[in-house]
């Protein structure tokens, strides 16, 4: 999905089978790849995204060139792609071995199909949970990326059923369609600025919480993250306002200059290193505290 967004897609369609264990397929209407670029894309450390600028200025999701070759080495992998104005091409890889390639019929864009993930790699397979749990993780990922890019249309199908269908909209509408609907009534809009750092979005009032933290959507410079510092700051902001085992529902977007962060810490890029962690924490705890205060909490 990140590759699709990097390729300028306006529509991203995800199909899952068996929670993703049987099938994960992502189709997009992005730039597509030439047959030569497709061959390169499944080579390790081949990326078209290494920036001329400093690494911290990278605007794309990818920049390691690891996803496609890694996936292609542990599953049955079919890559279809077509650049607008050219013919489509298909490349099939089975556990790292190229088994076939040839012309393919598809609209401009790319379709990546992954079948039987880890099925023949028992050492990895045992780290996969039940189809149900893996499905939940996939849904979570789709939701987070959909919230990061409200301008893009997304669909999600699981075992032939349409789960999500999201048209391009403005951010508040996308947030509303993904988060708990009660937030319309029990949410508090946030828009704070401290120096070059901005914090925007919506958080739920202390009276509207959940037992799990699965509705905390956090973004740093447009990327979904699950960063510990941010989660901790959020917890601190609500401390004494909600019971320990409860969590607020939030969609928070933190934007700061590229030099203030290092996204590269975690391979899945969900952890961030901040140049000024205390400043970030202070903005979140202090900012949310006073917003909740003013709202009468
Ligand atoms: P990275 O995203 O880190 O560059 P990937 O292994 O995810 O590495 O992808 C390798 C390369 O394949 C990308 O740099 C890009 O050039 C190309 N690519 C992958 N997916 C797509 C896509 N959906 N549309 C267009 N190009 C793609
Ligand atoms: Mg990538």
Instruction: Say what the pTM is.
Output: 0.92
For β-strands 216-220 and 250-255, DSSP reports them as parallel
Spatial CA neighbour of 261 closest among 271, 248, 272: 272
Strand partners, 217: 251
Arithmetic mean of pLDDT, 224-246: 93
Please enumerate in sequence order all residues whose Cβ is within 8 A of that of 205, keeping only pairs 6 or more positions apart, or say none: 186, 187, 188, 292, 295, 297
Is residue 287 within 8 A of residue 234, CB to CB? The reply is no
Higher pLDDT, residue 22 or 125: 22
* Nearest-CA residue for atom 20 of ligand 1: 3
Higher pLDDT, residue 124 or 20: 20
ipTM over 0.90: yes
Site to substitute for ligand 1 among 8, 47, 114, most atoms within 8 A of C-beta: 47
| Residue 267, helix vs strand vs coil | coil
Band of pLDDT at residue 66, cut at 50, 70 and 90: confident
Least reliable range by pLDDT among 69-73, 140-144, 210-214: 210-214
Q: Given this model, what pLDDT does residue 60 score?
A: 74
The H-or-E segment that residue 236 falls in is: helix 228-238
Is residue 281 within 8 A of residue 232, CB to CB? The reply is yes
Percent of the chain beyond pLDDT 90?
A: 78
Arithmetic mean of pLDDT, 58-84: 87
Residue 80, ligand 1, Cβ within 6 A: no
Please enumerate in sequence order all residues whose Cβ is within 8 A of that of 185, keeping only pairs 6 or more positions apart, or say none: none
Band of pLDDT at residue 212, cut at 50, 70 and 90: confident
Residue 29, ligand 1, Cβ within 6 A: no
HSE (side-chain half, CA atoms, 13 Å) at 58: 19
278, two tokens: 């205390």
Percent of the chain beyond pLDDT 70?
A: 93
Site to substitute for ligand 1 among 34, 41, 46, 84, most atoms within 8 A of C-beta: 41
Opening angle at CA 92, ends 32 and 153, nearest 5: 35
Band of pLDDT at residue 23, cut at 50, 70 and 90: very high
Q: Given this model, what pLDDT does residue 180 score?
A: 83
Q: What domains can you pick out in the chain, each with its CATH number?
A: 2-166 (3.30.565.10), 179-294 (3.30.230.10)
Arithmetic mean of pLDDT, 70-98: 97
Band of pLDDT at residue 270, cut at 50, 70 and 90: confident
Mean pLDDT, the chain, whole residue set: 92
Residue 11, ligand 1, Cβ within 6 A: no
Site to substitute for ligand 1 among 6, 64, 73, 93, most atoms within 8 A of C-beta: 6
Dihedral sign for Cα 16, 17, 19, 25, please. Answer: negative
Is residue 58 within 8 A of residue 49, CB to CB? The reply is yes
- How far does the centroid of ligand 1 lie from the alpha carbon of residue 2, in Å? 9
How far is it, in rounded angstroms, from Cα 285 to Cα 239? 10
Arithmetic mean of pLDDT, 177-193: 90
Please enumerate in sequence order all residues whose Cβ is within 8 A of that of 239, keeping only pairs 6 or more positions apart, or say none: none
Residue 64, ligand 1, Cβ within 6 A: yes
- How far does the centroid of ligand 1 lie from the alpha carbon of residue 30, in Å? 11
Q: Given this model, what pLDDT does residue 184 score?
A: 81
- How far does the centroid of ligand 1 lie from the alpha carbon of residue 120, in Å? 25
């Amino acid at each position: 999905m990140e590759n699709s967004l990097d390729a300028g897609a306006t529509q991203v369609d995800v199909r899952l089978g068996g929670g993703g264990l049987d099938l994960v397929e992502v189709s997009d209407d992005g730039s597509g790849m030439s047959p030569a670029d497709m061959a390169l894309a499944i080579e390790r450390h081949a990326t078209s995204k290494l920036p001329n600028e400093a690494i911290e200025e990278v605007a794309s999701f990818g920049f390691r060139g690891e996803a496609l070759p890694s996936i292609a080495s542990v599953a049955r992998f079919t890559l279809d792609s077509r650049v607008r104005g050219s013919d489509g091409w298909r490349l099939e890889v089975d556990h790292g071995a190229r088994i076939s390639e040839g012309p393919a019929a598809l609209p401009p864009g790319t379709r990546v199909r992954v079948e039987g993930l880890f099925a023949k790699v028992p050492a990895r397979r045992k780290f996969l949970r039940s189809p149900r749990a893996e499905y939940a993780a996939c849904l979570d990922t789709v939701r987070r990326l959909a919230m990061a890019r409200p301008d893009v249309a997304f669909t999600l199908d699981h075992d032939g059923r349409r789960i999500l269908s999201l048209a391009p909209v403005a951010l508040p509408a996308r947030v509303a369609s993904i988060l708990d609907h009660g937030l319309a009534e029990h949410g508090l809009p946030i828009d704070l600025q401290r120096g070059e750092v901005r914090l925007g979005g919506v958080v739920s009032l202390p009276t509207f919480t959940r037992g799990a933290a699965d509705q905390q959507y956090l973004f740093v410079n447009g990327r979904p993250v699950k960063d510990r510092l941010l989660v901790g700051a959020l917890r601190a902001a609500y401390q004494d306002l909600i019971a320990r085992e409860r969590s607020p529902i939030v969609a928070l977007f933190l934007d700061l200059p590229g030099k203030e962060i290092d996204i590269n810490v975690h391979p899945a890029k969900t952890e961030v290193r901040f140049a000024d962690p205390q400043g970030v924490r202070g903005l979140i705890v202090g900012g949310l505290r006073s917003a909740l205060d003013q709202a009468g909490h």
